[in-house]
Amino acid sequence: MKNKEPLILVVVVAFTLLTYWLVEPYAHSVMHKHVESQNFAYADLAPFTKTGDAVNGKALVTGAAACTGCHSITKDGIPASVDAVSAAQTYGVNPPDLSNAGAIYDAKFLADLIKNPAHALKVEHKFDASKGQAHPMVAFYGAGGDIEQEVADMVAYIQKIAVKPSEVTPKMAYENACGRCHAVSYEKWTQIGEKPSFKFEKDSLAFDIKVLEYQDSLTKYMGKLPPDLSMYIRSRGEHYISTFMENPQAHLEGTAMPRVGVTADAAHKVIEYLEDAGDTKRHERESVGKMVLIYSVIFAILALLWKKQVWRDLH
Amino acid sequence: MAHFTKATSVKDWLNQRLAIEKVEKVMASEYWIPKNINFLWAMGMVLAITFALLLVSGIFLLMYYQPDVKDAFYSVNYTIMRDVDFGWLWRHVHGVAASVVFLIIYIHMFTGIYYGSYKKGREMIWVSGMLLFVTFSAEAFSGYMLPWGQMSYWAGMVITNIFSLGGLHLDGLVEWIRGDYVPAQAFLTRFFMLHVLLLPLAIMGLIGLHFAALRIPHVNNQDGEEIDFNAESKKYLAGDKAGSKVIRFANDFMSKDLMVVGVFLIFFFYLVFFNYGFALDPVNFDPADGLKTPAHIYPEWYFLWSYEILRPFSVNIGLIAFGFAQVIFVLLPWLDRSPNAVPASRRGAFSIWFWVLLIDMIVLTAMGKLPPEGMFSTIGLVAAILFIALWIALPFITKNEKKV
Amino acid sequence: MHNSSRRGFMGKAFGAVAGVGAVGSLVAMKKTWDPLPSVKAAGFTTLDMSIYKEGELVTEKWRGKPIFVLKKTAEMVASQTESQKARDIVVGDSHFMLAIGLCTHLGCIPGYNAAEKSFLCACHGGMFNWAGEVTKVPPPRAFDIPPFKIEGNKIILGEAGPEYKAMKDSGITL
């Protein structure tokens, strides 16, 4: 009797893999637009060449450029002028605190943002100056000197006060770059900050009302309420989120979501934050997975040996 | 009353009351299986193990799951995936096993078709097996509703709409099934009930029937040889194990089964921990939203071939074709008119029929997932027509088959 | 002989009574699966038709289903064919396409392409024009129109007014 089992196994495995390939990798490559990552190089923005002077930068940021009229820099003792809810009523969204912006955002992006916010954020389709639609962040037209040098000074200042890029935590990156529009309820994160645990129901409800008020302004500003990102790491995956962050227009032409201009490192931190929210047990899964696979191999070897022993008399 | 004597051992005590020795003989040591079989004969055991994995993981999920449209998604994705220790493990095991069980069912089914294991007294094995396929499908579908994600909601919407039966417009029936105008609380709770109680009960009953149906005709073998089980088992018991054509269920057959199970488990756990995306669809990690259809709606891979038979036609013809595809497999023992119960490779035209059917179903599966546009629509239509044509042709092909 | 036929009769009678009981309990089971009164009662929605902008699709909600409301532009109204005119819902002097926003094939929500003024259903590729008519199968018929009643500037969904009944009788909607 010829042993046909190897041939049968090849046939079964081949058809299984073919079906898998067709319904998974192939079908998904047809269904979804593929966007290649540009490694957060922001090639469309002018290279950043000038060396800035942080002292002059500080003078500009707090003085002539009037950044601190809207942005807080808590690290340098400059508090927010109004709370998040009122800020959103005025600007649509709460302007970010600039304490660590230098470590989270790309320098080229920051420079462009200061000069032409709608361009850097890639929302010119929504804020077309020629149609009188001004972006809530006012462009900086120079303080009298070389505008390029002034911008470089401001960026230098923002980078100087920030933590080292390696010290940026996932939470810090997410909250600053994404968290003012996107809640992550699984991490208790709301657009106006982490919801504390309140002793009294009344205080808890008061906080919720503030969130709702903020969300109303945000909805008006964005067209719709930006989604909660708790499970996005599972529903969209790392590649999609990362390339979406890099350039939302590449995925969804005409979307109101701005390009946020994070550095590649900060983008990784954001992904890590989302993994902690939506794929919390991934490390445990990987380590337990390895052990279970090792166990399964031992189980299979013993099963094989037992079968050989039992069948010795049968042949 | 039966006569009981003072027991000499625990075994004897049990034996007097439960006849455990006799049961052990009937169920295991003198349940005779042909020796001439290959690893495909172990798929039944693989299915039993997978079902056990589903049952155990399901029990633990059930302890934290909330069948409420407001809480279901959270209870699955937050409570079970984040809070409950090893909750993620049960969910991954459950989700992956639900998908893999269909792969094994299809292998098991096509093994049966290839070796003619539905003929000559084995019709009830086939019919009970197909009933199991149907109940497993219902179980899979109802379970898919429970996380209450986008795919749950929209699959629920699309599949229950099928019951309006196209041109008959039975909207009342659809609303009755849902208990609402759209899938909502009543829908979720009743599918929860079906998934955790009624359908598992039906499945367990049918598994009993499936096993019982095997007893009288015995298991087929890979050459379609008619074996005299009485004579061969006597030979075995007399000590001629090597010469006998049959083996004991336990430990002979079981040792081979468990060897296959061992290999299967490596494959299974690899999927559970490292490649689960095919079974836990990303779209279902978005909470259900009745006012936003996902860009692509597709069922799980194991329903794709029958879904694709529904899709390329206008609604009424599509439904008729779909209905045809659902029942036609059950009728196989009667559509195959040939007297031969031998492997397809020795059956001439039937062998071609078998491979064409298999490839056609894979094509249908692929087209069922791809967007219904351009070339994919055309291929899907051709494959769907071919599927129907194959089944219509089967009695004619097999009628003229020569006896081997 | 006498005894056994009597036993046969009693057996059949017992079986019949048991059958009646089984059918009776099936009725109860069927009714338990019916939509609840509270679900049915929540079936009316009033829309203020004066708030819509021309040429802009708005999605309202009725009985958990999306309702497409499109106030037709003057060009649309001028270019309407007879069959499209028949689907028109006129409130005051505004013309509306008002329909259940579910594909008539298997109930997905078609997406609206504002540039092409057409609907595409992502599920099975069906297409509809701005008047709600099918331009590409599988959907078997135009968008269904929900039961409506015109009251001044308002439309009540779920209540059948004369305009709706006329549409239903002429087979424009189901």
Residues 71-90 on B with a CB inside 8 Å of A are: 77-78, 81-82, 88-89
The verdict on B378 touching C (C-beta cutoff 8 Å) is: no
Taking contacts as CB-CB distances below 8 angstroms, the residues of chain C near B367 are none
Decide if C138 is inside a domain: yes
Residues 132-161 on C with a CB inside 8 Å of B are: 137-140
The verdict on B266 touching A (C-beta cutoff 8 Å) is: yes
The residue among B332, B304, B323 whose CA lies nearest residue B163 is: B323
Give the structural domain span for C23: 2-34
> Residue B291: closest CA among chain C residues belongs to which residue?
C66
Give yes or no: residues C45 and C102 share one domain. yes
pLDDT in the model for residue C2: 58
Average pLDDT for C48-69? 85
**Residue spans of alpha helices (H) in B162-228:** 171-178, 185-193, 199-215
pLDDT in the model for residue B171: 79
At B57 the three-state DSSP class reads helix
Q: How confident is the model at residue A257 (pLDDT cuts 50, 70, 90)?
A: very high
| CATH code, domain with C47 | 2.102.10.10
Decide if C64 is inside a domain: yes
The residue among A102, C174, A164 whose CA lies nearest residue B171 is: C174
User: Do chain A and B touch: 3 or more Cβ pairs under 8 angstroms?
Assistant: yes
Sign of torsion, CA A90 A96 A102 A106? Answer: negative
Considering only CB atoms, B169 lies closest to which of C66, C125, C174, namely C174
Considering only CB atoms, C106 lies closest to which of B158, B295, B313, namely B158
Segment A190-203, tens digit of pLDDT: 999 999 999 999 99
With a CB cutoff of 8 Å and minimum separation 6, the contacts of B377 are: B312, C125
Give the neighbours of chain A: at least 3 Cβ pairs within 8 Å.
B
Q: How confident is the model at residue B383 (pLDDT cuts 50, 70, 90)?
A: very high
Statement: residue A307 has pLDDT above 60: yes
Give yes or no: residues C49 and C29 share one domain. no
pLDDT in the model for residue C117: 82
pLDDT in the model for residue B294: 80
Angle at C114 between CA C113 and CA C119, to 5 degrees: 35
pLDDT in the model for residue C3: 62
Taking residue B359's Cβ as centre, other Cβ atoms within 10 Å add up to 14
Segment B291-326, tens digit of pLDDT: 777 878 889 999 999 999 988 887 788 889 999 998
Considering only CB atoms, B180 lies closest to which of C30, C39, C106, namely C39
Distance from CA of A253 to the nearest CA of B (A): 15
Interface residue of A10, A311, A312 to substitute, partner B, most B CBs within 10 Å: A311
Give yes or no: residues C44 and C30 share one domain. no
Taking contacts as CB-CB distances below 8 angstroms, the residues of chain A near B256 are 307, 311
Total domain count for chain C?
Answer: 2
Cβ distance of A236 and B265 shorter than 8 Å: no
Cβ distance of C35 and B371 shorter than 8 Å: no
Give yes or no: residues C85 and C28 share one domain. no
**Residue spans of alpha helices (H) in B63-122:** 72-74, 87-114
pLDDT, averaged across chain B: 93
The CATH number, out of the four listed (3.40.50.150, 3.40.50.720, 1.20.810.10, 3.40.50.1000), of the domain defined by the range B35-290 = 1.20.810.10
Q: Is the ipTM of this complex over 0.90?
A: yes
What percent of chain C has pLDDT above 70? Answer: 95
Phi and psi at residue A88, in whole multiples of 5°?
Answer: -65, -35
Segment B175-184, tens digit of pLDDT: 899 998 889 9
Cβ distance of B181 and C35 shorter than 8 Å: yes
Interface contacts (A, B; CB < 8 Å): 134
Residue ranges matching CATH 1.10.287 in chain B: 298-404
pLDDT in the model for residue B342: 92
**Residues β-bridged to residue C134:** C128
Distance from CA of C73 to the nearest CA of B (A): 25
Give yes or no: residues C27 and C47 share one domain. no
Pair of tokens at residue A82? 């109004």
pLDDT in the model for residue C57: 86
Interface residue of B115, B369, B377, B379 to substitute, partner A, most A CBs within 10 Å: B369
Angle at A198 between CA A193 and CA A202, to 5 degrees: 105
Taking residue B187's Cβ as centre, other Cβ atoms within 10 Å add up to 21
As its CATH architecture, domain B298-404 has Orthogonal Bundle (1.10)
Cβ distance of B107 and A12 shorter than 8 Å: yes
Q: How confident is the model at residue B234 (pLDDT cuts 50, 70, 90)?
A: very high
Average pLDDT for C103-117? 79
Give yes or no: residues C45 and C113 share one domain. yes
Q: How confident is the model at residue C88 (pLDDT cuts 50, 70, 90)?
A: confident
> Residue A315: closest CA among chain B residues belongs to which residue?
B242
Cβ distance of C108 and B162 shorter than 8 Å: no
Segment A42-86, tens digit of pLDDT: 999 988 888 899 999 999 998 887 899 899 999 999 998 889 999
Cβ distance of A306 and B258 shorter than 8 Å: yes
**Residues β-bridged to residue C71:** C54, C96
Decide if C74 is inside a domain: yes
Give yes or no: residues C151 and C119 share one domain. yes
The verdict on B396 touching C (C-beta cutoff 8 Å) is: no
Taking contacts as CB-CB distances below 8 angstroms, the residues of chain A near B92 are 285
Give yes or no: residues C146 and C121 share one domain. yes
Interface residue of B265, B351, B358, B379 to substitute, partner A, most A CBs within 10 Å: B265
pLDDT, averaged across chain C: 83
Angle at B361 between CA B358 and CA B363, to 5 degrees: 110
Give yes or no: residues C100 and C50 share one domain. yes
pLDDT in the model for residue C42: 77
Segment B123-143, tens digit of pLDDT: 999 999 999 999 999 999 999
pLDDT in the model for residue A160: 94
pLDDT, averaged across chain A: 93
Q: How confident is the model at residue C150 (pLDDT cuts 50, 70, 90)?
A: confident
pLDDT in the model for residue C123: 67
Statement: residue C20 has pLDDT above 90: yes
Q: How confident is the model at residue B153 (pLDDT cuts 50, 70, 90)?
A: very high
Distance from CA of A256 to the nearest CA of B (A): 18
Cβ distance of B314 and C107 shorter than 8 Å: no
What percent of chain B has pLDDT above 90? Answer: 84
Taking contacts as CB-CB distances below 8 angstroms, the residues of chain B near C140 are 166-167, 314-316
Decide if C45 is inside a domain: yes
Segment A260-298, tens digit of pLDDT: 999 999 999 999 999 999 999 999 999 999 999 999 999
Is the N-terminal amide bond of B217 cis, ω within 30° of 0?
Answer: no
Interface contacts (B, C; CB < 8 Å): 82
What percent of chain A has pLDDT above 70? Answer: 99
Average pLDDT for B315-344? 92
Average pLDDT for B180-199? 94
Distance from CA of B291 to the nearest CA of A (A): 14
Q: Give the DSSP per-residue string, B270-333.
A: HHHHH--TTTS-GGGGSBP-TT---S-----GGGHHHHHHHSSS-HHHHHHHHHHHHHHGGGHH
Segment B208-219, tens digit of pLDDT: 999 999 999 999
Statement: residue C99 has pLDDT above 60: yes
Statement: residue A303 has pLDDT above 90: yes
Pair of tokens at residue A244? 């979406």
Give yes or no: residues C77 and C22 share one domain. no
**Residues β-bridged to residue A262:** A105
Taking residue C133's Cβ as centre, other Cβ atoms within 10 Å add up to 17
Average pLDDT for A22-49? 91
pLDDT in the model for residue B256: 95
Give yes or no: residues C81 and C96 share one domain. yes
Residues 99-138 on C with a CB inside 8 Å of B are: 105-111, 121-125, 137-138
Query: Could you give the CA distance from residue A113 to residue A123 in angstroms, rounded to a whole number?
Result: 12
Among the ranges given (A180-194, A250-264, B24-38, B234-248), the one the predictor scored with the smallest mean pLDDT: A250-264
Interface residue of A309, A310, A313, A315 to substitute, partner B, most B CBs within 10 Å: A310
Pair of tokens at residue A181? 């529009």
Amino acid occupying residue C27: V
Decide if C174 is inside a domain: no
Give yes or no: residues C47 and C105 share one domain. yes
Taking contacts as CB-CB distances below 8 angstroms, the residues of chain A near B88 are 281, 284-285
Average pLDDT for C19-42? 90
pLDDT in the model for residue C113: 80
Taking contacts as CB-CB distances below 8 angstroms, the residues of chain A near B108 are none
